[in-house]
Structure 1
Amino acid sequence: MTRSMTAYARRETKQAWGSLVWELRSVNHRYLEPQLRLPEAFRETEPALREIIRKHLSRGKVECFLRYDLVVNQESELSINEPLAKNIAKACRQIERLFPNVTPVAPLSVLEWPGVLQQQEIDLTSIHQTALAEFEQAVVSLNETRSREGLELKQFILKRLTQIEQEVSSVRAMMPALIKIQREKIVQRLEEAKVEIDSNRLEQELVLMAQKADVDEEMDRLATHITEVRRVLDVKEAVGRRLDFLMQELNREANTLASKSINADTTQCAVNLKVFIEQMREQVQNIE
């Protein structure tokens, strides 16, 4: 299946304890490279998050951002961390003995010390479960977007394959006439130069010229590669690497065709082939 590696997805949920927002962005990459940006309270979910990514995606650089907003319940009971508060009070008395003229520390200032004032413990287990479920839905949504864009890339490649086939057909159609013209030109030049040459030797040279100009093998291989690209586009797994290899093979045959060109028309066909192949190659780089 042709899936693009470029996509975006967002997933938000609101619960009694607050809200979670996932944002996922993916771009093309040679391998699967997830990057997770998580609040500290969610660090322990990272292995499970990576497993979800591996379950749904094969390639691409995937950036995942989690925003977590906790609703403060004004009716919840507050408690004081007495051991910490006693230690702070003891430290304050020691400071007062060293600096007798210092204004005593107010109790409200002690309450502002991190960890002194505590709210009821939040059950992070259920929140983590919600975060994982929402994350998987976000990845599924991301994959759906990648599939839609991949379908467009597939249509683009199929269109270029048709154009390549048209160029190959043009070369096939013109080759017999071109070889005949080349043969006549060689004979004419020899006659104009009044060069005497053995008929057998002349025939050998003409056969050699025809062999050098013969591109049937290259065009056959181009047709074979085109058939294989079409087949790979319908495979139900990640196909980006295979398509990239086939683009290299198509380009190799186009280069050989260009090197064997014997007139401006075949040269132009070879140039057109290279343009179409390069256009496909650029798009293939973004296919998973």
Structure 2
Amino acid sequence: MIYSMTGFGKASVQLPLKKITVEIKSLNSKNLDLSVRLPQGYKEKELEVRNVMAQQLERGKVECSVYVEVTGEETSATLNAPIVKAYIAQMRNIIPDADPTELMKMAVRMPDALKVERCEVDEEEWNEIVKVLNQAVKNINEFRKQEGEKLGNDFTERINNIRSYMKEITTYENDRIVTVKERLQQNLKELEVTIDESRYAQEVVYYIEKLDINEEKVRLTNHLDYFIETMDAHEQSGRKLGFIAQEMGREINTMGSKSNHSEMQKLVVKMKDELEKIKEQVLNIL
């Protein structure tokens, strides 16, 4: 089963005096790239948050944000009265007739007008936050799983399309051989030379063997089967699927260079188009 690297997970908990919300977003990335945003009072716990996510989110550009909404009467911020009074006095010297209410509004917005008292993180409260964090991680993994199922269905459809095009190519192979022989005979007639029929037959066989694509079809079929098998495996398979797609591309390119037939080349182009779409989506696989 495949998982997408793109996802979103959210969870929240209502504590007696505050509401904690955790949001996790992820995009595709070669490795695990973590970004953690915590309120000032929880900065010391950043390493623990990173460890929780690193253990459960293997790859991706992941952004985790923790929001705290105070719902009770408790607050860690208080007005810094001496500073506010000093600001009001300075502004009154500049504008003597200013409205006191307006002066107060401006003063509380100035730097250092609010004094934040640093408090130790309550362990019981933090344990609840960790539970919410784990739930958010679980939710994003479920989201990734659902997205992975959609990608898996898309991959299966495109793999089947490639199989269908490859099967259709087979119908033109005999026509191609006849066309090649006729072309060679026509060229020889135009040269008006006498040829050794036995040697000519050998050269035709050699030329046709160089255009044979049976080996490429066998290898491409094996790659298609392995791609489906890897998708169904339990391991995280994004990188492996990328390697298999590269090998599929090599076989399709070789078939195109050997096709020497307009209809076969059209089918090869269609196969390449399906493969490019697979490669684009593989970049999102965990």
Following superposition, the deviation at residue 51 of structure 1 comes to 2.1
The alignment's TM-score, normalised by the length of structure 1, stands at: 0.81
Change (3 A) 1:241 1:38: same
The corresponding residue for 2:24 is 24
Asked if 1 retains the 8 angstrom alpha-carbon contact of 2:42 and 2:121, the reply is no
Give the distance between the partners of 1:268 and 1:202, measured in 2 at CA: 31
| Residues 141-181 of structure 1: per-residue CA shift (max 9 Å, x gap) | 00000100100000000000000001111112321231123
The corresponding residue for 2:206 is 208
Structure (1 or 2) with the larger CA radius of gyration: 1
The corresponding residue for 1:102 is none
| Residues 49-72 of structure 1: per-residue CA shift (max 9 Å, x gap) | 222212222111110011113345
Which residue of 214, 232, 235 corresponds with 2:233?
235
- For the residue of structure 2 that corresponds to 1:158, the secondary structure is helix
Give the letter aligned to residue 4 of structure 2.
S
Cα RMSD for the two superposed structures: 2.7
The corresponding residue for 2:128 is 130
Which residue of 154, 157, 165 corresponds with 1:156?
154
- For the residue of structure 1 that corresponds to 2:259, the secondary structure is coil
Which residue of 244, 247, 250 corresponds with 1:249?
247
Asked if 2 retains the 8 angstrom alpha-carbon contact of 1:12 and 1:21, the reply is yes
Give the distance between the partners of 1:45 and 1:123, measured in 2 at CA: 9
- For the residue of structure 2 that corresponds to 1:62, the secondary structure is strand
Structure 1 stretch displaced more, 40-49 or 213-222: 40-49
Quick check: 1:60 aligned with 2:60?
Answer: yes
Structure 1 stretch displaced more, 24-33 or 169-178: 169-178
Identity %: 30
The corresponding residue for 2:110 is none
The corresponding residue for 2:215 is 217
Q: Which runs of 5+ in 1 are unaligned?
A: 77-87, 89-111
Give the distance between the partners of 2:263 and 2:196, measured in 1 at CA: 33
The corresponding residue for 1:33 is 33
The corresponding residue for 2:8 is 8
Which residue of 266, 269, 277 corresponds with 1:268?
266
Q: Which runs of 5+ in 2 are unaligned?
A: 76-81, 83-112
Give the distance between the partners of 1:154 and 1:234, measured in 2 at CA: 9
Give the distance between the partners of 1:237 and 1:50, measured in 2 at CA: 23
Give the letter aligned to residue 257 of structure 1.
M
Asked if 1 retains the 8 angstrom alpha-carbon contact of 2:6 and 2:144, the reply is yes
Asked if 2 retains the 8 angstrom alpha-carbon contact of 1:7 and 1:146, the reply is yes
The alignment's TM-score, normalised by the length of structure 2, stands at: 0.82
Change (3 A) 1:220 1:14: same
Give the distance between the partners of 1:133 and 1:34, measured in 2 at CA: 19
Following superposition, the deviation at residue 262 of structure 1 comes to 1.0
Asked if 2 retains the 8 angstrom alpha-carbon contact of 1:4 and 1:149, the reply is yes
Asked if 2 retains the 8 angstrom alpha-carbon contact of 1:221 and 1:253, the reply is yes
Change (3 A) 1:242 1:113: closer
Change (3 A) 1:52 1:123: closer
Query: What are the equivalent positions in structure 2 for 1:90-239 lying under 5 Å apart?
Result: 114=115, 124-239=122-237
Asked if 2 retains the 8 angstrom alpha-carbon contact of 1:172 and 1:216, the reply is no
Asked if 1 retains the 8 angstrom alpha-carbon contact of 2:16 and 2:72, the reply is no
Give the distance between the partners of 1:128 and 1:70, measured in 2 at CA: 15
Asked if 2 retains the 8 angstrom alpha-carbon contact of 1:254 and 1:274, the reply is yes
How many residues are paired up? 256
Give the letter aligned to residue 240 of structure 1.
G
Give the letter aligned to residue 172 of structure 2.
M
